[in-house]
Structure 1
Amino acid sequence: MIKSMDVLKMPLKLSEAVYGNLLEKNYNKALSLGNRYSFINSNIFPLLNKEEQDLFMGFQDVCKKLLKEVNVDDAYEILPKLGEHYMLQRMNTYDGVVGSCKRQLLLNMAVNGMAPEVDMAMTASSILVGNSLYHNPDRNDIQEKALKEIYRGTKVGGIGITEPEHGSDAVNMKTTAKIAENGDITYNGTKIYTTNGAVADYFSTYGVTDISNPRRTMMLTLFKRDDPGLSTERLHIPAAHGVGIAKVNYDNITVTKDRMIAPPGEGYKRLFRGLTPERFAITTGTLGGVWHALATGTIYTQLRHQFGKPLFKYQGISHVLSDTYSELSAYTAFAMQIADFYDKKVGEKIHRGETPNAMDEATVAILAAQGKYLTTRMSHRATYEIVQLMGGRGAIDEPGSNNIINRGENISRLMEVLGGHRNIQRMIIEMGLKASTSMAIGSNIKKAKREQGKVEQNITQLVMARAEKMLSEEAQFLPDDEKANLSNAVNKLKAAVETNNKIEMAAYARVLPKVLSKAGKAVYKAKKAQ
């Protein structure tokens, strides 16, 4: 008989398990935000002038004061506090506060160390949505109010570009926009992976009035969360814990004409003009994340002892850090070069309400693509390696701890996708490669094309001769359908040559070898069967 004291207890629920802290006080103190900033400053300050150094230190002071108020489960709670210090963006001059790419770089590097989730959320709101409003020279009172609230952090913005079937191919979007006679705008469609979409107050969204001609009909419109027909669904993305990425539905949602940020056709230009500063902000936030990861790894491995000496004394450890250090320093210098170019050639003109030179915009777009591709590619690899150097402690995310490298590694997984997939950046870089040589070797390229054209023409003539010979000498071995196909291809190609129809010449020059090959197989089978 089982006594009451012997009754088995139910298994303990995971939710009832108590968390403990593994990071000792000495490690936690050494990894403080202030110490990480000190490490970064010693490497960044030589690249900055006195004004920029002071600005960077000011950003750091605010972040150190606000650190305890950060809620990693909700990146948005701290935004109004940052907004009070004009620290949600410093790319654009606004409200008497000077903006530039260099200032934005320093801001991202400071905030990322405080909380990478906050850096991601504020960049999506104040740079992506903020720029779409800021770059509108004709913004009205409604748009100005939205811009001010976003920059001050009292409201959050999310930008609507990506769609379920149109990620990298953002231009050919299917979200439709209709403009009524009175100017009212109606949207129908779905956007996904909208950063901040789960909580956003404002949505800066692209749509097209003609899906068959998106470039000339793309427009940009401002929506509010309480607009009838707008609904959001948060997406579960573990790597972005604390950031509300969402699917946003636009179901026959109608707004007044004063919500139009860019008219049809202008939206396409605005989309690509906005991608360059977006990619630059992603680059600088990524650099900030790696600098803080490197600081964490460098500090930790000098404190942690194994086999009687610090981990840093082992080359298997220090060489990994040294490689990251060298690569990161080079990319940081490159990012500052991009910032200077953008500020002088593009940003200053935008701030004055002028249109930048097209060549300058193209150049900085390629530079931004290079920067984003290189830094984001390096980021996940570098943070992962540093996590490994720290063993089990690198994988732990302890509430209130200064060891945030695990959270930084999670965020780094997304950076190659945000702002254009890495393969899109490669395509842009490829265009830069071609453009950089086209002027110098233009005549050589034309000559090579002419020579290649002659070779292809000779090949085509040989194929035609072989086809005609088969039709005359081996016709008895050809099935009727194969004979008809071959005869048709030869005649079509001849007609294209006689009329100098280059399009059909090229098409049938590709088709004829395939038809001839198939006919040749039929002749071979027929001869073998005899």
Structure 2
Amino acid sequence: MYCHPCTGSCRALDNAQDLVYNDRKVTFTEGVMILELNEEQKILQKNARDFMEREIIPIADEYDRKYHPMPKDIALGLLKKLVPLGYVGSTLPPEHGGQGLDLISYAVLGEELAKAYVSLGMIVLIQDGGVLPILVAHGTPEQKAKYIPQIMSLEKISCFCLTEPDVGSGARDLTTTAVLNGDHYIVNGTKTWITNGGIADLAVVFASTDRSKGARGISALLVDKDESPFTTRELPKLGCRSCPTSELNFEDCRVPRSNLIGTEGSAYLLALSELAKLRVAVGIGALGLAQASIEAAIKYARERKQFGRPIGSFQLIQEMIADMAMMTDAARFLCWRALYLTGKGEVCWKEASMAKAYSTEMAVLVTSKAIQVHGAYGISEEYPVERYFRDARTLTFPDGATQIQKLIIGRELLGISAFV
């Protein structure tokens, strides 16, 4: 989704018109672009949905309870099943072995996977969108030739290492260092809350190569665990429990100079750009959770009877489900708008942060309402809605917490930064 323009899923019109999504007509009212699922995208959606219902949904609750986190061999087995559907290298051009999908197709795939099992969706998100786009856009020919095929084939699982124990969203203040010594950088530091960290073979590590330059001294290195070993520690968490989330420690880790991405000091803006794209992807994950919650609530409200009638016939239940649907559709439009702007090649800090902040907070509310529709059964592991709620709350943190997103939105609107 990250580098490629729309390929036919968007069309320019003067006024907002109808959009077909999931066989429903809704309206996209932002700007002059109208989004509509074409026949290929509908087929893609159906194939993904059928696969999830057959292969992933039946095991999601069991795996969520069993794997904290998912072992590498289990994760690889599931990833290999997803590759034919276009989940790895989804938007990369065919010359790099990718599917060349447009951004809306990417969103459709992401939402269907998150509906089924968002822990698996987060593993895929980083394998598909954490390192590959950076290599395509900024890697040397040698780096591309070596690592893109290995990531695409799942020979190497990848991760994106920016956050540190004392540095969350303030990327300019990184304490991890990379000191050039002959033909190698010596990397020292700790990264934390790294998705896929515990199972990763390849990491993009952001480190300071010149502390005196602040943000202009931050560089990015490809750290191949086979040649540059590092240690990991798993971080148990509330939601997305099956997704490996780890602390990575680099102690005098020798990384070949040839593994520098771009030039020294060029990685700060690269990191911010990738974060903006990943934020929209996390928003899409939240959409999947919300949509799954709506469908679970509707199913339960139709089947559960009180006073001789389905609880779905009660006004308060219908009000909750209506609220859930309205909030989810609104979030979908924010995500799709950010994708549209990304497809145009625009850097959309504000729109990406709006999509991430609103979608993840929306998912917390929607999943909570789904629990309420289920009553006391909603907090039982016999139903999936308690997992949806835990996963939704967890998604408010990756790639910048909600409060950080609001500061970005405020900065873009006011032209005044509140960051210190």
TM range (shorter): 0.7 to 0.9
Cα separation, 2, equivalents of 1:108 and 1:228: 32
- The whole-number CA distance in structure 2 between the counterparts of 1:259 and 1:177 is 12
Q: Is the 8 A contact 2:357 2:406 kept in 1?
A: yes
Match of 2:248 in 1: 248
- Cα 1:228–1:151 shift into 2, 3 Å: closer
Deviations 1:333-392 (A, max 9, x none): 23222222211x21xxxxxxxxxxxxx31xx12111111111111111210121121123
1:127 paired residue number? 129
Alignment pair present for 1:372 and 2:356: yes
**Against the structure 1 CA distance between its residues 43 and 409, is the aligned structure 2 distance closer, same or farther, given a 3 Å change threshold?**
farther
Task: Please report how far the alpha carbon of residue 426 of structure 1 lies from its aligned counterpart in structure 2 after TM superposition.
Answer: 0.8
Stretches of structure 2 that go unaligned for 5 or more consecutive residues are 1-20, 28-35
Supply the distance in 1 between the matched residues of 2:55 and 2:151 (Cα, whole angstroms): 19
CA distance in 2, matches of 1:130, 1:120: 15
CA distance in 1, matches of 2:228, 2:42: 48
* Residue 425 of structure 1: aligned partner: 405
1:54 aligns with 2:8: no
> Are residues 270 and 226 of structure 1, via their aligned partners in 2, closer, same or farther at CA, if it must alter by over 3 Å?
same
Mapped partners of 1:159, 1:263: distance in 2: 18
Once structures 1 and 2 are overlaid, which stretch shifts more, 144-153 or 206-215? Answer: 144-153
Is 1:396 the counterpart of 2:380? The answer is yes
Partner of 1:42: 23
Q: In structure 2, how many angstroms separate the alpha carbons of the residues matched to 1:391 and 1:148?
A: 49
**Local SS of the residue matching 2:254:** strand
Cα distance in 2 for partners of 1:407, 1:188 equals: 37
Matches within 5 A, 1:181-220: 181-182=182-183, 184-220=184-220
CA contact (8 A) 1:235 1:247 kept: yes
Q: What is the percent sequence identity of the aligned residues? A: 22
1:259 aligns with 2:248: no
Q: Secondary structure at the match of 2:397?
A: coil
Equivalent residue pairs, number: 376
SS at match of 2:23: helix
- Residue 148 of structure 1 and its aligned partner are, at CA, apart by 2.8
AA matched with 1:140: E
Structure 2 counterpart of 1:103 = 105
Contact 1:229/1:251, CA 8 A, preserved across alignment? no
> How far did residue 139 of structure 1 move?
4.2
Letter in 1 for 2:101: G
Match of 2:172, SS state, is coil
Q: Which residue of 1 aligns with 2:165?
A: 164
Per-residue CA shift, 1:379-419, capped at 9, x if unaligned?
11210121121123322334xxxx43222211111111111
Deviation at 1:320, TM superposition (A): 0.9
**TM-score between both structures, scaled by the size of structure 1:** 0.67
- Residue 32 of structure 1 corresponds to none
- Distance, in Å, in 1 between the alignment partners of 2:361 and 2:314 is 26
Q: What is the CA distance between 1:179 and its match in structure 2?
A: 1.8
Aligned runs of 1:103-502 on 2, under 5 Å? 103-141=105-143, 143-182=144-183, 184-343=184-343, 345-346=344-345, 360-361=346-347, 364-398=348-382, 403-435=383-415
TM-score normalised to structure 2 length: 0.83
Deviates more, 1:216-225 or 1:58-67: 58-67
Whether the aligned pair in 1 keeps the contact of 2:298 and 2:321 (CA below 8 Å) is yes
Matches of 1:171 and 1:231, distance apart in 2: 24
The answer to whether the 8 A contact 1:232-1:247 is kept is yes
**CA–CA distance in 2 between the matches of 1:392 and 1:92?**
45
Deviation at 1:48, TM superposition (A): 1.6
Aligned residue for 2:82? Answer: 82
Between stretches 369-378 and 78-87, larger displacement belongs to: 78-87
**Cα deviations across residues 89-111 of structure 1 (Å, max 9, x unaligned)?**
52433425213321221111111
Contact residue 45 and residue 108 of structure 2 kept, 8 A: yes
Distance 1:244 1:273, change over 3 A: same
| Structure-2 change in CA distance of 1:380 and 1:144 (3 Å) | farther
Q: In 2 relative to 1, CA 406–130 (structure 1 residues): closer, same or farther, beyond 3 Å? A: farther
Give the Å deviation of 1:229. Answer: 4.7
Tell me how far apart the structure 2 counterparts of residues 153 and 314 of structure 1 sit (CA, whole Å): 50
Give the secondary structure class of the aligned counterpart of 1:59.
helix
Amino acid at match of 1:255: V
In the TM superposition, residue 137 of structure 1 has moved relative to its aligned partner by: 4.6
User: Does the Cα contact within 8 Å between 1:192 and 1:247 map onto a contact in 2?
Assistant: yes
User: Larger radius of gyration, structure 1 or 2?
Assistant: 1
Counterparts of 1:407 and 1:225, CA distance in 2: 33
State how far apart, in whole Å, the 1-side matches of 2:377 and 2:24 are. Answer: 26
Partner Cα distance (2:59, 2:372) in 1: 29
Greater share of residues in helix: 1
Q: Is the 8 A contact 1:240 1:411 kept in 2?
A: yes
Q: 1:323–1:420: structure 2 CA closer, same or farther, 3 Å change rule?
A: same
Structure 1, residues 144-169: CA drift from partner, whole Å, max 9, x if none?
A: 44333333434321111011111121
Q: Using a 3 Å threshold, how does the CA distance of structure 1 residues 255 and 317 change in structure 2: closer, same or farther?
A: same
Q: Tell me which protein shows more strand as a share of its residues.
A: 2
Q: 1:309 to 1:120 in 2, by over 3 A?
A: same
**Separation in 1, partners of 2:414, 2:89:** 34
Task: Give the Å deviation of 1:61.
Answer: 3.0
Once residues 154 and 281 of structure 1 are traced to their aligned partners in structure 2, the CA distance between those partners, rounded to angstroms, is 24
Residues of 2 paired with 1:324 and 1:393: CA distance?
Answer: 19
Q: Return the alpha-carbon distance in structure 2 between the equivalents of residues 271 and 285 of structure 1.
A: 21
RMSD value over aligned CA atoms? 2.3
Distance change >3 Å, CA 80–CA 193, structure 1 → 2: same
Provide the C-alpha distance between the structure 2 equivalents of 1:336 and 1:179, rounded to a whole number of angstroms.
42
d(CA) in 1 for partners of 2:151, 2:372: 38
Q: Distance in 2 between matches of 1:45 and 1:111?
A: 22
Deviation (angstroms), 1:429: 0.6
Larger RCO, structures 1/2 (Cα 8 Å, 6+ apart): 2
Tell me how far apart the structure 2 counterparts of residues 288 and 213 of structure 1 sit (CA, whole Å): 41
Instruction: Quote the Cα distance in structure 2 between the aligned partners of 1:96 and 1:158.
Output: 19
C-alpha deviation, 1:116, in angstroms: 1.3
